[in-house]
Amino acid sequence: MKIFERKADLNQYIEDAKFDGKSIGFVPTMGALHAGHLALVSEAGKQCDIVVASIFVNPIQFNNKEDLKKYPRTFESDREMLEKTGCDVIFFPSVEEMYPEEVEEKYNFGALETVMEGAARPGHFSGVAVVVKRLFDLVHPDKAFFGKKDFQQLAIIRALTKQMGSPIQIVGMDTVREADGLAMSSRNRRLSAQEREQAVELSQALNFIKQNKNNFTLVQLEANAIEKLSRNFRVEYIQIVDGHSLQSITDWSQSNYPVVCAAAFLGDVRLIDNLEF
Ligand code: PAF
């Protein structure tokens, strides 16, 4: 497995691979890898000749400095896991390598970015779009793999590739969960033992909505789901939306692809999760 820290070295490798007619699968990450990331890498290996993973904690997508500071950085174990999972290349750039100059790009994703995560984390998706576009331009993947846990991010990335007129195929993969149902996340390791036990309540609240779909109005379902969480949770939103437009719905007839999305703090750890219907 190769590890490149410089764009020029990665470029050379990609050029050679393309010249040899190899297809490239790309898994962008911020490291602190878990089984969810590894599922993306495995799938990329099944669908493409070469798998490139990037590890870059992207400062411009953090709207909270503390969160950026506390984001787990675990390169050695990430490297080992990627190697075992069949990754061919890790791109591990520094901040200076990715952003040698002030970032000036601007993106507009309209209503997709003004709701949920976009509303709660101003500037977040702009930062995601900037880094993903730069990474796509470096890696030139045939396919790029993203987890559905970041449901809104996946929608934004699909919109970005459309805006770029890019042929890259975006593959969204199901959320990988712990045995009790908690969605895997790099941030989970920051939960205390007690918080970790309670964290599962978020996925239980989403399941409650799915199971009681026909027993309450949508507004009641959202309110009941919030009530089910322990007091330690600070809920930002539990919202039933249309999975295409991401806009809130108040009646099932308003969407042929409803998804319930949630974000909540437990202590100072922000958890997100969602469930498709
Ligand atoms: O999902 C993530 O880990 C990040 O948002 C991504 C896509 C790697 C961009 O920094």
DSSP string, 148-205: TTSHHHHHHHHHHHHHHT--PEEEEEPPPB-TTSPBP-GGGGGS-HHHHHHHHHHHHH
Q: Read off the CATH number of the domain in which 129 is found.
A: 3.40.50.620
Measured CA distances, 28 to 73, 177, 245 (Å)? 15, 20, 24
Does residue 250 form part of some domain? yes
pLDDT (0 to 100) of residue 267: 95
Tell which of 151, 173, 195 closes a domain: 173
Tell which of 138, 173, 208 closes a domain: 173
Tell which of 173, 197, 232 closes a domain: 173
Q: Give the residue numbers spanning the domain of 34.
A: 2-173
Does residue 227 form part of some domain? yes
Residue 276's beta-bridge partner residues?
259
Same domain, 139 and 215: no
pLDDT (0 to 100) of residue 223: 98
Does residue 95 form part of some domain? yes
Same domain, 208 and 145: no
Residue pair 184/178 in contact by the 8 Å Cβ criterion: yes
**Cα distance between residue 87 and residue 28, in whole Å:** 12
Q: One of 34, 37, 140, 244 is an active-site residue; which one? A: 37
Same domain, 26 and 136: yes
Does residue 277 form part of some domain? no
* SS3 label, residue 45: helix
Question: Atom 2, ligand 1: which residue's CA is nearest?
Answer: 29
Is 37 noted as a catalytic residue in this protein? yes
Q: What parts of the chain have a pLDDT lower than 50?
A: none
**Cα distance between residue 63 and residue 216, in whole Å:** 36
Q: Which helix (H) or strand (E) holds 46?
A: helix 35-47
Same domain, 19 and 133: yes
| DSSP states along 69-113 | HHS---HHHHHHHHHHTT--EEE---HHHH-SS--------GGGG
Same domain, 99 and 230: no
* SS3 label, residue 147: strand
pLDDT (0 to 100) of residue 52: 99
Same domain, 26 and 96: yes
**Cα distance between residue 121 and residue 42, in whole Å:** 31
Question: Atom 9, ligand 1: which residue's CA is nearest?
Answer: 128
Residue pair 155/246 in contact by the 8 Å Cβ criterion: yes
Q: How far is CA 17 from the centre of its chain?
A: 27
Measured CA distances, 157 to 56, 136, 137, 142, 198 (Å)? 17, 11, 14, 15, 31
Residue pair 7/132 in contact by the 8 Å Cβ criterion: no
Does residue 9 form part of some domain? yes
pLDDT (0 to 100) of residue 150: 98
pLDDT (0 to 100) of residue 226: 97
The closest alpha carbon to 158, from 115, 125, 184, belongs to 125
pLDDT (0 to 100) of residue 237: 98
Does residue 180 form part of some domain? no
Same domain, 236 and 258: yes
Atom from ligand 1 closest to the CA of residue 157 = 7
**Cα distance between residue 115 and residue 2, in whole Å:** 39
Structure tokens at 130: 């900037």
**Cα distance between residue 274 and residue 277, in whole Å:** 10
**Cα distance between residue 175 and residue 267, in whole Å:** 23
- Ligand 1 contacts CB of residue 132 (under 6 A): yes
Task: Report the domain count for the chain.
Answer: 2
Q: Which residue has the tokens 């949770």?
A: 233
Same domain, 67 and 192: no
Among 27, 29, 37, 92, name the best residue to mutate to test ligand 1's pocket (greatest count of ligand atoms within 8 A of Cβ).
Answer: 29
pLDDT (0 to 100) of residue 39: 98
- Ligand 1 contacts CB of residue 131 (under 6 A): yes
Does residue 211 form part of some domain? yes
Does residue 77 form part of some domain? yes
- Ligand 1 contacts CB of residue 58 (under 6 A): yes
Residue pair 273/202 in contact by the 8 Å Cβ criterion: yes
**Cα distance between residue 240 and residue 274, in whole Å:** 9
Same domain, 195 and 70: no
Same domain, 125 and 242: no
Structure tokens at 207: 């399941």
Question: Atom 3, ligand 1: which residue's CA is nearest?
Answer: 29
pLDDT (0 to 100) of residue 65: 93
